[in-house]
Amino acid sequence: MELLHSKIIGEGTPLLILHGFLGMSDNWKTLGTQFAQNGYQVHLVDQRNHGKSFHSPDFDYDVMSDDIIQYIDHFQIGNTTLIGHSMGGKTAMQLATVHPEKVSKLIVADISPKYYPPHHQPIIDALGHLDFNEITSRKQADEVLSNHLSEVGIRQFLLKNLYWVESGKLGLRFNFDVLQNKMDEIGENINATATYEGPTLFLRGERSEYIMPNDFPEIKKHFPGAAIETIDKAGHWLHAENPKQFFEKSLHFLNS
């Protein structure tokens, strides 16, 4: 089994950060540095089929959770604090409920334990129009995506995955073929009887619909010790839209 790619910053209490769907560890570099400056050894991890980690046809929360267990064991971390956003939050929830002895504290960013119907199809369709036999610059790639995705922020987020495969040849870091075929897995709920009793914080974006008040009982059923707080003036990418409040609320929970 291959080891996930990561960037490790700082010294102190281990803190693993798991990005969301089509993201990568680099998305968390600024916040990761802030946590590192406050006494944490921050592990910014690329999940399988994302960033610089290995590509695999196997893609569900069981194998992604196992990847993190292998990573924790490899670095002899013992138990750790986990922050997971969206898909990364589901991985973190899966890990905490199956291996609670590995997790001292859990922060879940803008995702709940419930099932989410597939809803990334417009993004996948737009990415499918990228032909890297013709596209030779970030500007060209953005022009193609802009024909299908009007929101600049989403296009910028996706284009962070562009890299030079070889001289003159661009590509995407994530495993597009597998991810477009496994989108149903992204929305999967965690096991109906799964629970984690440890300290847990759910952070939801004020403008996001991923965690609604009617989801609170389901969260409390699986995570009886959970606090649920709202990040002001933020949507689903709450850590990018209001990083100051996200950091303050996270750090207060971690240090409490």
Amino acid identity, residue 216?
Answer: F
- Domain that residue 205 falls in: 6-116+187-255
* Global confidence as pTM: 0.96
Residue 26 lies in a domain: yes
pLDDT for res 168 = 87
The answer to whether the Cα torsion of 84, 90, 95, 98 is positive or negative is positive
Whether 74 is catalytic: no
Marked catalytic residue, from 25, 53, 86, 112: 86
pLDDT one-digit tens code per residue, 67-110: 999 999 999 998 999 999 999 999 999 999 999 999 999 999 99
Q: State whether 111 and 226 are in the same domain.
A: yes
pLDDT for res 118 = 84
Amino acid identity, residue 46?
Answer: D
Q: State whether 15 and 109 are in the same domain.
A: yes
Q: State whether 30 and 112 are in the same domain.
A: yes
Residue 162 three-state SS: strand
Q: State whether 91 and 130 are in the same domain.
A: no
pLDDT one-digit tens code per residue, 133-163: 999 999 999 999 999 999 898 999 999 999 9
**Residue 192 — very low, low, confident or very high, per pLDDT cuts 50/70/90?**
confident
Residue 1 lies in a domain: no
Quick check: 206 pLDDT over 80? Answer: yes
Q: State whether 96 and 196 are in the same domain.
A: yes
Residue 184 to residues 31, 62, 72, 120, 247, Cα–Cα distance (Å)? 30, 14, 27, 10, 31
Residue linked to tokens 């334990």: 113
pLDDT one-digit tens code per residue, 229-251: 999 999 999 999 999 999 999 99
pLDDT one-digit tens code per residue, 158-187: 999 999 999 889 999 999 999 999 988 999
Please name the helix (run of DSSP H) or strand (run of DSSP E) that holds residue 16, with its range, or none.
strand 13-18
pLDDT for res 82 = 98
Quick check: 1 pLDDT over 80? Answer: no
DSSP class of 256: -
Q: Quick one: what percent of the chain has pLDDT higher than 70? A: 100
pLDDT for res 231 = 98
Q: In whole angstroms, what is the distance from residue 67 CA to residue 128 CA?
A: 28
- 3-state SS, 78-120, equals CCEEEEEECHHHHHHHHHHHHCHHHEEEEEEECCCCCCCCCCC
| Domains held by the chain: number | 2
Marked catalytic residue, from 73, 125, 131, 177: 177
Domain harbouring 197, CATH code: 3.40.50.1820
pLDDT for res 119 = 85
Marked catalytic residue, from 5, 43, 236, 239: 236
Indicate the residue among 138, 164, 181 that finishes a domain.
Answer: 181
The structure tokens listed for 194 are 């799964």
- Mean pLDDT, residues 8-17 taken together: 97
pLDDT for res 42 = 98
* Neighbour count for residue 94 (Cβ, 10 Å): 25
In 137-254, the DSSP E strands lie at 162-166, 169-172, 200-205, 226-231
The C-alpha torsion from 97 through 78 and 91 to 43, rounded to 10°, is 150
Q: State whether 30 and 105 are in the same domain.
A: yes
Q: State whether 29 and 107 are in the same domain.
A: yes
